[in-house]
């Protein structure tokens, strides 16, 4: 199963670079292009979570309950920054073989991205959602 690591590391590094670029250019509601890039980052992180779970032979139950409020932040830039920081941390732990910690950090990154995507999608549909959900 070690073959997943090099490919996953590359994908996560690309996602981290993309998130850092997004953080610099976002200045309000996300454009369609920014949303597309954000979705790609989210998918890379989600896929890496699955690979790490398989490597750890973690219980394969579907999902964990997530406290949404913990991952909702006041603005897009802050959410992207937190997601990027968690992603970079997770990537570092994958590189050192500390997979339990990597999984924790990658889940944090995924959750920040998920809540940002959710909030943006609801806003585009005209559905009110509170900043603290």
d(CA 104, CA 33): 29
**Which residues, 6 or more positions from 70, have their beta carbon under 8 angstroms from its beta carbon?**
111
Mean pLDDT, rounded, for 107-120: 92
pLDDT value at position 33? 93
The predicted model scores a pTM of 0.84
Task: Kindly tell me if the per-residue pLDDT of 70 is higher than 70.
Answer: no
Confidence of residue 1 (pLDDT cuts 50, 70, 90): very low
């Amino acid at each position: 199963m070690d073959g997943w690591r090099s490919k996953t590391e590359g994908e996560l590094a690309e996602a981290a670079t993309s998130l850092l670029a997004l953080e610099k250019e976002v200045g309000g509601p996300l454009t369609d292009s920014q949303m597309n890039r954000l979705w790609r980052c989210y998918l890379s992180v989600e896929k890496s979570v699955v690979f790490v779970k398989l490597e750890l032979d973690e219980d394969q139950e579907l999902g964990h309950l997530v406290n949404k409020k913990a991952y909702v932040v006041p603005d897009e830039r802050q959410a992207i920054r937190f997601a990027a920081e968690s992603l970079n941390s997770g990537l570092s732990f994958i590189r050192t073989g500390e997979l339990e910690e990597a999984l924790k950090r990658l889940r944090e990154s995924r959750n920040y991205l998920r809540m940002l995507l959710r909030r943006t999608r609801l806003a585009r549909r005209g559905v009110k959602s509170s900043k603290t959900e």
